[in-house]
Chains A and B, each alone.
Chain A
Amino acid sequence: MSASVLDKVAEPEFSPHLTQFIKDWKDKPGSLIMILHQLQQQFGYLPRAAILKLSREINLPLAKIYGVVTFYHYFKLTKPGRNNIQVCMGTACYLKGGEDLLQELENMLGIGVNQVTEDGEFSIESVRCVGCCGLAPVAVCGTVFGKLVPEKLPEILGKLKAGGEQP
């Protein structure tokens, strides 16, 4: 499959690391997911233009890549907020009130899961076990907030907004 010249609109830059990574892996079968991880790492999500460019570079139909991207929750097609708050819904966190945290966050920010606030500051994500069940319930945003209760959320959001807790 050869892509037409007309496709080349506003191509995003790939970092040297990403470019080399794609070069090293593109001809090896089963490497798409790994490459997508790297792509998402550079952009924070998977911009359509970047997937289009990748599609040409690894000579794989865009539809195939989208099939994989939409299958796995980890891959994001929309740009997350500057602070992407991941609320753990693993068994321990769920039992200890993870859902209350999620509910409270949604109320405070006025957005749902996988949505971004209008100012681009916050987004909320519901994730599976993050591996520190002893601290349940847990939310993650750059750092781990353990034994969390809804009452602590305003303070955390304030700090995040001020930029203190960015990774």
Chain B
Amino acid sequence: MVTIQFNGKTSVVPEGISVLKAGTMTGTKIPSLCAHPDLKAWGACGICVVKIEGSPKMVRACTTTVVEGQNYLTHDPDLVETRRTVLEMILSNHPNECLTCARNGCCELQTLSAEFGIRDVPFDTDVKLLASDLSNPSVQLHPSKCIACGRCVIVCQDLQDVWALEFLGRGDQTRMAPAGDVTLAESPCIKCGQCAAHCPVGAITEVDETRKVWNYLRQNDKHVVVQIAPAVRVALGEEFGLEPGTIVTGKIYAALRRLGFAKVFDTNLSADLTVMEEASEFLQRLTTGGTLPLITSCCPSWVDYLEKYYAEMIPHFSTAKSPMMMMGSLIKTFYAEKSGFGAKDILSVAIMPCTAKKYEIQRSHDMSSSGMPDVDCSLTTRELARMIKQAGIDFKNLPEELADNPLGDYTGAGTIFGATGGVMEAALRTAYFLVSGKNLGKFEIEAARGMEGVKVAKVKIPTDGLGAPGKELELRFAVAHGMANVRDVMNQVKAAENAGEEPPYHFIEVMACRGGCISGGGQPYGSTDEVRAKRIAGMYKDDASNALRCSHENPSVQALYRDYLGQPLSAKSHQLLHTHYQPRPLYVR
């Protein structure tokens, strides 16, 4: 710990942190723009300048480490004037298009400009007219709006290890783009949308499809149904002034009905179904000497990443579709038959925390197992929030409603899919039951929880359920989140494989985004570890408050198997709930 001062007021802060972070920790706000707590400091913008008492120089708080005894002056007339000048310079080559920008009202540059009361830019304006890149189904690049803060590049390279984006050129010609005159769709982009989630302005945005869905709702001859993903329920409230992590499931159901959806289903149910299929697939591989470790495949960005970067690992991938796609195919087959609406008269919409889901619905022909697209449109949490606002719905004061049957019930296991480690925990609860013949004594598998980039643990399961009483099975699992954390785990697996050794793990869960879907690329802006922790706490609270904690106990899932699918891994399940993968090039050309 070091003792420092902010404007003469003494604080004790950890050694080695930046002045900016020390400010945040001690409640001293230092205006900043390019800095983000998720990312290494880059010192690009110069807004966060401070003075060190005794020195006339200004230094950037984000790249300056705290030193014992120093007194940092975070504001004086000089500093405020300097910050203003920096802002004016940034604005001099930023288009003045706030009213029609996707980030209108939630733009960090706009907020700063408002705080500094900028009314006029005293410099010649030089806005570069660069074409937008609209090639990608999930995110769009609008380079004219880029302020060269570098967040997207650092996210794409350091956090996600994708390397779709890079700084090209130099000086005032610097731009963020895929390597060498290719579009984002032709680049290694995995559509995770973390670039969009971290962009402080409107230079990278999700593809907005709200009007497409309004048009669905306008068609009287269509039966428009919707599903919502686990992680949406702990984040949507933020768009309406609620704390991160507030569980608003009932209000979302109510809002979706008021928007005009005929039926409201819950992706948590198909998460339970995913557990049934994946846990069964796992046990089948375990008992018949199949390819292990089994790797989860719920995350479409991870699927894209694996197909591009680790195509040789495809046999390890669970063939189970993601919960969204399972729900989609059930809506257009099972529900279509049961309700009497033909599949062609149903339009199926999904509300997801994720931008990559927009890609997933068209990933391969397996995504049309009903003969037509199983999910017609996938909206992000942010897009749903906009639709609710457009409709004038008073979200905070909505009554709590229930989801529709037969695809609305869920267990605690289904809901925790939204957090890192959740799929593993849910699958282990059911795998434990299938192997031992009884439920876990304590459902919480703490080793799978938390924000550690890679979590590794073992569980011992009595094998009574497999007809071998008195014995135990030791399962080794790994959980990775944040794409850059996956490499080490994959390399361990490959090394063991090449050496002909037993695999280091039996089961691996991967989620592309840090913290899991709760901070997916389509979630409300402002995800930091603090916000992530709150949303994750919301997920586990939703789990703990559910009377049923294991997917195999979900009565609707049991009924689905009894009445329609037969059993996990049945021919029908394979037809509707499983998929294939294929190697894809990093660069299309």
Contacts and interface: CB of A to CB of B under 8 A. Distances in A.
Contacts of B58: none
B178 A6 contact: no
A66 interface: yes
Contact of A62 (B310, B311, B587): B587
A63 B166 contact: yes
Interface residues of A, number: 21
B586 A7 contact: yes
A3 interface: yes
Contacts of A2: 309-312
A69 to B, nearest CB: 8
B584 A67 contact: no
Q: What's the interface size class on B, roughly?
A: 20 to 34
Nearest to A60: B163
Interface string B7-44: 00000000000000000000000000000000000000
B165 A63 contact: yes
B308 A66 contact: no
Contacts of B311: 2, 4-5
B13 to A, nearest CB: 34
Interface in B560-589: 583-587, 589
A135 to B, nearest CB: 30
A9 B589 CA distance: 8
Interface in B358-393: none
A71 B310 contact: no
A6 B157 contact: no
Contact of A71 (B169, B309, B487, B587): B169
Contacts of B163: 61-64
Nearest to A66: B179
A7 B587 contact: yes
B585 A70 contact: no
Contact of B584 (A4, A52, A61, A62): A4
Interface in A45-97: 48, 51-52, 61-67, 70-71, 77
B164 interface: yes
A1 interface: yes
Given A63-B164, A63-B179, A65-B179, A3 B586 contact: yes
A66 B180 contact: yes
A70 to B, nearest CB: 4
A5 B179 CA distance: 19
Interface of B: 157, 161, 163-170, 178-180, 307-312, 487, 583-587, 589
